[in-house]
Chain A
């Protein structure tokens, strides 16, 4: 059935062009609990696994019927392959064996058994075969969903380029989906600084958000085009439009490749003011991306999303292993590990402290939570310190509102260090400590905080939201969320001044460092480092290399003198567009 071409517009949230087939996401969350079971529970876990297996078979059977009715038999083999995997003794026996032998629950065993196969696949030096690991992941996901008792996702278009369409998304939705065939994201709701937008940018997935309607306008399997640079979505494109955009997609990629040539240059203005460029990292796979794009380190390793299932109580061993991986990979560069900052609008739906908070953004999050849950804090610190034996590590405190919190945390670190010492466990006693400045109270007293730490890192998303009293994800007021407001500029100015007076470095790790028009401003304010989405590094660097400090200072003076931030924003973006064409493709 061919329908009329239609254009839907929204906010451009992650650059690039994607052409693909719609996969409508029915939002459901799978949490993968990992736990040890005692001997009495073993048989129960095995029976859970067995019934998940038969449930999965039944689902695949239905799916097979559906797919062959809707799409003919061409893709049926993929479904049959899944069926054969479920019947594969080497998988099912392994899983049961793991439950028995390691005394772990069914979910964990499924994951482990499948991980073994993935590892086998990774060893194959042929890219095509290595990619087959994704085929097993569908089986894994299906089993885990059944074990969790949640509804299955119908992967109708798993075998081809997929654009995920949803009413709204959580980062977990993206983390959990198989990303190999995912080429773009479109949503009805959300803002540029919603967590999934940030994630889309770091994964280099073109993304258009806030369209209000897109999820109602499409069906599974529809062809759509997504332009993440202009914020447009084309539904039911004709073949000419399709070809034209395919051409534009290639052009876009070519420009980006060109920019990457600055990889080995410093981020230095024409008059030799150097800014250090780090990458923000949410997922392990971004570490490679960071290195490829010339990151001089990791400015923020957000630990909340690193662990599958996102459990706050991830074991110390699991954490050590994970941090160690990142630290070793980034060597000799520094990795700044931010302590768990489970936000109020928690990723995982369940309120952390067992209570619903009416205003979670102002609630129990970041170090406020950690200082209450000292065991979690200590085990994370122990893990980070152990990783510090393998490379350069720094620790970053999120959601600081008062210098006394910093002192308490420093004290806890001391205690943990002396415990490790007693136990003869290696760590780097000189790890640097940094505080996030994201609450106005911290910004205004940054002079005192600066006395207790080695660097300050400004989280602009929250700082702006708290300073202006604007919920950044609420479209009704999103236009009031403006980094150019005099109050924000004032705070940005103050913090850098306080930091430098104390002789420490100050940087920005919020989203504004990703936005081209703000970069000259941050340079003019004399920030020492910017930590941005890995893919933005070449563009940010290019802008820095094309300006002078004198020019940047002029921007600051001009912006500081303005009363109307939205007018200013318009001016800046026009100026930016003419000054730096081609830098942000």
Chain B
């Protein structure tokens, strides 16, 4: 009895292991196919422009508003803590560095995953469930080149732009609270910020981070959609998995990237 239960459990573990390795292999083949077939979307940039509208422009409002509020909260909290040490003038440094290095890329990516990533999964999953993808194949139109690749590139392009907008909005929010509302000296706010923030070290690394996140999110979202079981339940499960997996992947990748980028200094 006990023995049998043990074997079943071990079988269970083995099944999951084989399953996840298989899925990883499928996902790798999927991204390779996507990259291989992206020629069409660059020859017809209109395809990418359309997807840029859906994943980039429609995410703008949530990104801008969250950026503003995150910046304003950072302004309040930073001022509160820095005041204890009599160094309120370093508020600009605190707001700018935390936004440009971490919060901008990470929070923008989390929002992007839940706003645009889930939509991508649901759209492609439904296309598959309603056999639109098979219909394309019947018409000798490659669904990966026509449907997947433009969405992938649109996500990769719009992610760094959205992260930059988030950071800029956040710095503006910190300025609003710190300088306009509380009355930190405007000159020292900007000059200390400019002294501390380095273009290559901080801003460029933030952009690299957001590019990596863009690739990860769109890859996960598109694969989950493409791989979803063609049922209502399957599509909803795939959408949930997209948000959960990409959020976890963003946080893990952020830790790895940060430990490489900011270790020495």
Q: Do A and B bind each other?
A: no
Q: Which residues of A contact B (CB under 8 A)?
A: none
Q: Which residues of B contact A (CB under 8 A)?
A: none
